[in-house]
Structure 1
Amino acid sequence: MLRFLARRLLGALVITVLISAITFFLFFALPAEPALMSCGKNCTPDAVALINKNLGLDQPVPVQYWHYMAGIVAGRDFTVGHCPAPCFGYSFSNQQPVWGTIVDRFPTTLSIALGGAAVFLVVGTGLGLLAAAFRGTWIDKLFSSLSLVGNALQIYFVGVVALAVLVSGLHWMDNPAYHPITEDPVKWFTGMLIPWLVLSIIFIANYSRMTRSLMIEQLAEDHVRTARAKGMGRRTVFFRYAFRGALAPVVTLFGIDLGSLFGGAIITEFTFSLHGLGRLAVSSVSETDLPTLMGVMLVGCTAIVVANIVVDATYALIDPRVRLA
């Protein structure tokens, strides 16, 4: 198991470095002058040259990339002072430390992503299990129809409808807002509930259909029929044998959907005016703010890679053949 995780960690490190290098070098292919973003309106060529020197932008791009990556590990010295590790530099647009901005925004995105994932895993898998257990009945047909409808919906449409009906119309829920869970867990939960439901609705449709088809396939396997022939109870056969066989592909699908989950969190933040990493990434692109963009990309990439390692470890626990391979 340790060798398995070591290989995954090494691969994750290589992927993260490659993504950072591609993002960094593509930025300098843009026809823009980052120093002008920090200079302001009344800018002179001497001021631009001074900013380029202070930010290290007058050096070759490979040297800048090396200094940037070294600063993340060991810190970096700027004209304004020392930037301790992990140092992602200073924003070109507001001259604030990028790491501090990311720390302020990350809990919002993390809350949306983790809460949405928990909702669609539990609800989507549960609906799929019910549809498989009552195959051919009206329950199966109802859940199958709802999954088709949910798969056709979009986050920005469902979000507006949810605000109009649940918040403004019926007053059943509070307006979405982020409150730190350490300060008020109840407000954190109620403020994130609508974003969770909206983000998870498309994933629920996919997971319910996949779980249903996998369970029907597993229930027809020889080992399941053998367990029935030995006199085991229906519930034991359903969960211990059939569901365990169907769980591995569901975990694999979850690992694939992690990137889509982060993209969905960005759209959800815009829909409900939540200030997370998604809005920060879009604003950094529009403002040509390389340090902020690089910081968001590296943090997002690291989060997805770490989550994939956890998924791989879970998959290895479910199926011992993965560890042996």
Structure 2
Amino acid sequence: MTPTTDLSVSPALREPKKQPTPAKRRIPVAGLLRSLGSRLLRSLLLFGAVTLTVFGLSALIPGDPAVSLAGEGATPESIAAIREQLGLSKPWFEQYFSWMNGVVHGDLGTSFFYHTPVSGLLMGRLPVTLSLALFAIIAAVLFGILAGMLAATRRGRLADKITTVLSTVGIATPNFWVGMILLILFSLNWRVFPAVGYTPITTNAVAWFMHLVLPGVALAAAAGAELQRQTRSSVSEILSQDYIRTARAQGLTRRRVLWQRALKNGAPPLATVVGLQAAVLLGGSVVVEKVFSIPGLGTLAIDSVTLKDLPVLQGVVLLNACFVIIINFATDIIYTVLNPKVRV
């Protein structure tokens, strides 16, 4: 009698082995904190250097504010009295430390000509400049990323050539010239947007938006063009990688490949460009505000130079420098999170 063979398979062999779930990618907290502390220390040192530079350069402006305040035909005694009242007769380093003591406590001094606290003047003009800069940043990011993605996916075609030409013209053209062309076309000739002025958003949101369109586009032209070139370069390089071809072979849609793979992996350099351009936009708003007669920090800075109002000029430059430091600090942190290789 032939023995029967048990062909049954054990339950352990019948059940498929469970694949271990991949561990989620975590950001090392210690490395991020070290990077944060290092960049914070550098930002504080940079702030100290900025205050010294701002105060020193403003003191080198030709002309004596006391003479301007005293008026024509003023006697040397009256000019000396005004200098003593304003603290201009003290040594330079004493003026600097006195000013820095006020800055630390939130006191930027009193305007020579407006006779009001400088901090109040800045806070009154700050929402205007921030509105313009925010509008320009959003417009630059939208145009730069969308046009860059379009050019990267159609390299050598008509769309790529058109966006490349537009970006080249945008980088090469000064923003004040773009502003004047837009003003002539859309305000004076076609009367689509208002030519000059500003309306607070709390008064009329539609008028606020309409007043920001032309200066915002003029301010965003160069930034959007630079972001378009960077997006095109980064995304084009990523689309040629092997893992992108693998993702396409796995059946991923074109949209998912572009936005979830290509753009995500190209985000670190784009974040750096956006941060740098945001800092440039704050400084570039000076000329654009003057072209469109917008009562922001840029107009206040130009007027303070004309009037030799040193406390106002120092306050405006210091505030802009603080914004640049904060933007660069935030950009470094974002870049550190997106690219762990740069952590210290």
Q: Would you say same fold, with TM above 0.5? A: yes
Provide the rounded CA distance (Å) in 1 between the counterparts of 2:82 and 2:264.
59
For 1:274-285, list aligned pairs within 5 A.
274-285=294-305
Note if 1:57 corresponds to 2:96: no
Cα distance, 1:73–1:206 mapped onto 2, change above 3 Å: closer
Per-residue deviation, 1:30: 4.6
Cα distance, 1:123–1:73 mapped onto 2, change above 3 Å: same
1:7 to 38, 41, 58: 38
Per the alignment, residue 38 of structure 1 pairs with 69
Provide the rounded CA distance (Å) in 2 between the counterparts of 1:125 and 1:265.
22
Provide the rounded CA distance (Å) in 2 between the counterparts of 1:133 and 1:19.
43
Note if 1:227 corresponds to 2:258: no
Supply the AA of the counterpart residue of 2:207.
K
Q: Which has the higher contact order (CA 8 A, sep 6+)?
A: 2
Per-residue deviation, 1:45: 2.6
Provide the rounded CA distance (Å) in 2 between the counterparts of 1:184 and 1:320.
45
Per-residue deviation, 1:171: 2.2
Supply the AA of the counterpart residue of 1:63.
E
Per-residue deviation, 1:152: 3.1
Cα distance, 1:45–1:145 mapped onto 2, change above 3 Å: closer
Supply the AA of the counterpart residue of 2:120.
G
Provide the rounded CA distance (Å) in 2 between the counterparts of 1:259 and 1:190.
24
Give the alignment's Cα RMSD to 1 decimal: 2.0
Per the alignment, residue 108 of structure 1 pairs with 128
The answer to whether the 8 Å contact 1:129/1:215 transfers is yes
Per the alignment, residue 165 of structure 1 pairs with 185
Per-residue deviation, 1:119: 0.3
1:102 partner SS: helix
Per the alignment, residue 305 of structure 1 pairs with 325
Per-residue deviation, 1:219: 0.6
Gapped regions of structure 1 (runs ≥ 5)? 75-85
The answer to whether the 8 Å contact 1:88/1:97 transfers is yes
TM-score of the pair, normalised by structure 1: 0.88
Per-residue deviation, 1:198: 1.3
Per-residue deviation, 1:62: 1.0
Question: Which 4+ runs in 1 deviate beyond 6 A?
Answer: none
Per-residue deviation, 1:196: 0.9
Provide the rounded CA distance (Å) in 2 between the counterparts of 1:73 and 1:205.
39
For 1:91-170, list aligned pairs within 5 A.
91-170=111-190
The answer to whether the 8 Å contact 1:176/1:192 transfers is no
Per-residue deviation, 1:20: 1.5
Percent of aligned positions with the same letter in both sequences? 35
Supply the AA of the counterpart residue of 2:90.
Q
Report the structure number with the largest CA radius of gyration: 2
Moved more, 252-261 or 235-244: 252-261
1:21 partner SS: helix
Residues 185-223 of structure 1: CA deviation (Å, up to 9, x unaligned): 222111101111111122222221221121110111233
Supply the AA of the counterpart residue of 1:19.
V
Supply the AA of the counterpart residue of 1:256.
L
